[in-house]
Amino acid sequence: MRTVFLFLLSFGLVWTSTAQPGPDRLRADAPNSVLIQNATVHTVTNGTLDTADVLVQDGVIASVGTDLSAPSGVDTYDATGMHLMPGIIDAHSHIAISDVNEATRPVTAQVGVGDVLDPYDVRIYRALAGGVTTSHVMHGSANVIGGRNETIKHRYGMTHPNALRMEDAPRTIKFALGENPTRVHGESSDVVPRTRMGVESVIREALTEAQRYQALQDAYDAGDRSAPPPHSERLEMLADILSGDLIVHAHSYRADEILMLMNVLGDFGVDEITFQHVNEGFKVAPELAEFGAGASIFSDWWAYKFEVYYSTAYNAAVLTRNGVNTSINSDSPDLNRHLYHQAAKAQRYGELSDEETLALITINAAEQLGIDDRVGSIEEGKDADLALFSDHPLSIYAVPQRTYVDGTVRFDRNDDPDDMRLQVDPESVVEETVVWHDTGTRHGACMQQTGMHLHANETGVRLHN
């Protein structure tokens, strides 16, 4: 709230509390207190407790231990034989928004996906069915500097967009390096950048303009100028990057461009960044660790474009062993339903421990998003965002059973109906089938709305992630 509030003040706006939760169409009467008993509890930050209890009161984890008793009015849930872990955090997603890419210019910091949240998106529920409780919903990767992202909680059933927003989550903005922006702007529109040199130049120019804009604004505020500079939504946002109020999450693949961005941000005094995808992060793991940059990666996606041809599924292991804060994300409305499985592959490829592996989709992602004080582990005082599995969550046989958000059950394998849509297009037909699975076409959503679908043929979209 603090940062949001400051942000609003900076525009001289009055914060009017319109964040009415709106009706909860699914769980209006569901309690947000529960005692979960006899589970194997993977706290992630404090080891694993066999046959332990977790007491949730008013949406918050009240205590973690053994033989806890339920206060009056609080139901118990017998989770004997089950595994409880913190709600999974997807550090890179494009669900729950109406737009992904404002692909019209290389720098579009003025837009934000938070303006077009879509609480009706059934993919929120499907993520819940995979234990995911928080998503970092991102602008696409068409532009060097894209739009602002939004960190949401999967309060599926609430129909007010504001009900999805995770209060207090730091603001973040999408950057994108390499093939996507050079292709969208350079190759298709004849606009810089066409090369990775151009990408650097675009960022430096944009941030320099923002410095100058802020200087004019400051001079006006100090009474040294009679007029404020011409208003620029874009430069306001870029200036927030420089002030540390807007955290960069950079779509990136190649080692060189990763190094470039750390150099550029360093020159502008920006010291916080998380690299997204970062398939060649393993090559520059020591540099990432030294800068303190985060890496949010795919478990094993590669070879879908040239800049990910020299990839390894051991990326998570190399980064982790080199001290880089690493998370595994989905960038996909399919993969986000089994991030626990995506993370588990870090055990095949590099033999990470259970705790290290679970951290990839919980506390590490929380740290990258600046929300680790609220979520990412099972600790007293944290939000009761919890995922309950039939088996060890890193086992292939693990089946998610229940997912809690703020202590409220929002996925229940046994009780939920099949059709979980919150709304139905009145013009639709009942048996509308989308066939997703032509061979080899299943990759992420980063390039939606770039117009690149014009290059699609029946074998799928040519540009990915």
Question: CB within 8 A of 346, min separation 6: which ones?
Answer: 299, 316, 317, 320, 328, 352, 356, 357, 360
Distances (CA, A) of 167 to 63, 163, 194, 374: 23, 9, 38, 10
Q: Which is nearer to other proteins, 58 or 167 (CB)?
A: 167
CB of 453 to other proteins, least distance (A): 5
Question: CB within 8 A of 38, min separation 6: which ones?
Answer: 51, 52, 53, 78, 79, 80, 81
CB of 260 to other proteins, least distance (A): 17
Q: State the virtual CA torsion across 317, 320, 321, 324 in degrees, nearest 10.
A: 140
- Both ends of the chain: CA-CA distance in Å? 31
Q: Which is nearer to other proteins, 16 or 80 (CB)?
A: 16
Per the CB < 8 A criterion, the answer to whether 265 and 294 are in contact is no
CB of 441 to other proteins, least distance (A): 8
Q: Which is nearer to other proteins, 66 or 423 (CB)?
A: 423
Q: Which is nearer to other proteins, 211 or 232 (CB)?
A: 232
CB of 403 to other proteins, least distance (A): 11
Per the CB < 8 A criterion, the answer to whether 274 and 295 are in contact is yes
CB of 309 to other proteins, least distance (A): 5
Per the CB < 8 A criterion, the answer to whether 395 and 347 are in contact is no
Q: Which is nearer to other proteins, 72 or 435 (CB)?
A: 435
CB of 184 to other proteins, least distance (A): 8
How far is Cα 375 from Cα 369, in angstroms, rounded to an integer?
Answer: 10
How far is Cα 457 from Cα 449, in angstroms, rounded to an integer?
Answer: 16
CB of 69 to other proteins, least distance (A): 31
CB of 170 to other proteins, least distance (A): 19
Q: Per the structure block, which two tokens stand in for 171? A: 């603001």
Q: Which is nearer to other proteins, 98 or 195 (CB)?
A: 98
CB of 401 to other proteins, least distance (A): 12
Q: How many CA atoms lie within 13 A of 86 on its CB side?
A: 34
Q: Which is nearer to other proteins, 113 or 371 (CB)?
A: 113
Q: Which is nearer to other proteins, 290 or 380 (CB)?
A: 290
> What single-letter DSSP state applies at residue 231?
P
Q: Which is nearer to other proteins, 103 or 247 (CB)?
A: 103
Backbone angles phi, psi at 293, to 5 degrees: -80, 150
Q: Which is nearer to other proteins, 276 or 299 (CB)?
A: 299
How far is Cα 418 from Cα 312, in angstroms, rounded to an integer?
Answer: 38
How far is Cα 144 from Cα 456, in angstroms, rounded to an integer?
Answer: 23
| Chain centroid, CA 245 distance in Å | 18
CB of 416 to other proteins, least distance (A): 8
> What single-letter DSSP state applies at residue 393?
T
DSSP strand pairing (145-148 vs 132-137): unpaired
